[in-house]
Amino acid sequence: MSKTYLITGGAGFIGSNFVNYIYNKYPDSKIIVLDLLTYAGSVENFPVNVNNINDRFEFWYGNVTNSALVDSLVCKADYVIHFAAETHVTRSIFDNRDFFETDVIGTQTVSNAVLQNKNTVEKFIHISTSEVYGTASGCELMDEHHPLNPMSPYAAAKVGADRLVYSYVETYDIPATIIRPFNNYGASQHLEKAIPRFITSALLDEDLTVHGQGLASRDWINVHDTCLGIDKILNSPLSKVQGEVFNLGTGRTISIKDIALEVAKAMNIDKSKIKYIDDRPGQVDCHIANIQKIKDILNWQPCIKFEDGLKNTIEWYKNNHHKWEKQIWMRQVPIVLKDGKKVIH
């Protein structure tokens, strides 16, 4: 059956990968994208040229905090998938106001529109983040009941959005599900993120800069596996997913240092090119997903091994210089450390 998907933030990294996934998998579907096209979003990420009329794809340039615009789009949708957010930890330290406006007020705007169209919207998927958890206690697997201890303005804004959606389920019975993806990587990711920054630095014959000693570890999930997880939720009975929170990760942790070493090895560059710089404030030390809940309820689990996903990601950046070279100047931002020292991260 033909479905209409409203995807906010659909020009960004995970959002655009999901747009392409749905467009290719469901040929009878219609996709509406709302995006403000901030520095991290690009119409080049879409499966079609936005200048050409296409019955299956509709793009709206606008802010997710614009209630009139959001209302007009939500009323057309069977599914609402809310990716729109400011997402970079370091940038949130540099300039945090946009994070709270977009992540919290934007989510409230979308949630209110879903409430007004509760009789027609079948599912509302809110894309939260594992950053809401902070550092894992004892570096243990983090399940959905782990305390929420945000360690950066970005994470704090996402906690506000996450709990706002949950409150709308409890108060208004909206058909919402919250997912908390762990660290995504893959094709077309912005160069401010660790893996594409390492890869493009290697391609440009630059040093690979690592915060601190690189001991902070993450659970790295390929963006395609995230798309599969979201699709699994959309195709599950509402009774199984309404009001639920699901982690999307792998259960495996890899340190930033080891990521840099893996990139150096895969790209045949000497590990002496890896340089260590000041640690980043708001750094999460350890992140590992417990995904037992989504395995048990929805029978989902990741299928892409990290080494294979990294190889494919490297190939994408090798073959798409024209898409990422325009972002080079945005790889780093100035921040102030706790001791008042000003650095570029």
136 vs 271, more confident: 271
What's the whole-number average pLDDT of the chain? 90
- What is the CATH superfamily name and number for domain 4-189+220-251+288-304? NAD(P)-binding Rossmann-like Domain (3.40.50.720)
pLDDT in tens, 55-75: 899 999 999 999 999 999 999
| Angle, CA 100 vertex, CA 98 and CA 104 arms, to 5° | 130
Q: What is the pLDDT of residue 92?
A: 43
CA distance 199 to 208: 8
**What are the boundaries of each domain within the chain?**
4-189+220-251+288-304
Do residues 264 and 273 touch, judged by C-beta distance below 8 A? yes
Which stretches of 63-185 are assigned E, i.e. beta strand? Answer: 79-82, 123-127, 176-181, 183-185
- Full-model pTM: 0.92
| Whole-number CA gyration radius for the chain | 19
pLDDT in tens, 81-107: 999 877 554 544 455 567 678 889 999
Q: What is the pLDDT of residue 211?
A: 84
Per-residue DSSP letters for 293-339? HHHHHH-------HHHHHHHHHHHHHH-HHHHGGGGGGS--EEE-TT
Confidence of residue 137 (pLDDT cuts 50, 70, 90): confident
